[in-house]
Amino acid sequence: MVSLSAFLRDMKKKITWIIGILALLCVGFVVSGAMKAAALQKISDAGMSLVVDTANTSDFDAKLYEIAYSSPVAADKIGLWLEAVLAREFETFSTEGKPVTEDVAGILRGWPLSKVVEIDLSGSSTPDKVIAKLDSLKSAEWIDLSGTPVTKETLLALAGKAPNLRKLEVKNTSISWDRELVETLLKTQSLEEVVFDENTANEAVLKQLRDGLAKR
């Protein structure tokens, strides 16, 4: 029969282990949260925007970028900081026509764009850099590359990264349309619309694209 003192010692050890594990989890949460808050701040400082996927956004996303990240977090910013940490899903990302620096491009890999539905890179001078940095765009349904120097190679890569893409906008670009590009885009079964310049050369190839989309 286990004595009371032995039982208490055993319980004390277990409680100590539990407290230690909880402490490590808390530290991990704080460190992860701090890194994410800092990443959001860098995106904001670059003049870009991320809109949070929530039913009641109001001015939530605007407040999110007012976070003055510091260590420790200022008392009046703790609420916003926690919201930034917990808001792991974003619906829309826009470069607001700004070029993407290496610093920002590194942030965009994985979180926070892993579940973004709409990506607006229109007017940006560095769309290829953004697409190249992203391993997957499984949730992306609309991508706007209008008015950018996007290349055919990037669109070919994009087709494999965005299996759920429904609308692609590429107006005012210098893309070289050919059969390879059209057939690759049409392999994306979810694709319903491609917005491009009607006066683009190689009308026969673009007709193939229009006809292929019309059958869906």
DSSP letter for 75, please: G
Angle at the Cα of 125 from the Cα atoms of 110 and 209, rounded to 5 degrees: 80
Architecture of domain 89-216: Alpha-Beta Horseshoe (3.80)
Q: What is the pLDDT along the chain (216 residues), one digit of tens a residue?
A: 557 676 667 777 778 788 877 777 666 655 665 666 667 667 777 777 776 554 444 444 444 444 433 344 455 555 555 555 455 456 778 888 888 777 777 777 656 666 788 889 899 888 888 788 776 788 889 999 999 999 999 999 988 889 999 999 999 998 889 999 999 999 999 999 999 887 666 888 989 999 999 988
The per-residue pLDDT for 86 is 53
Q: Backbone phi, then psi, for 51, in 5-degree steps?
A: -105, 130
- Predicted pLDDT at 72: 45
Domain ranges of the chain: 1-49+57-85, 89-216
Helix (H, G, I), strand (E, B) or coil at 142: strand
Q: What is the pLDDT of residue 149?
A: 93
Q: What is the pLDDT of residue 165?
A: 94
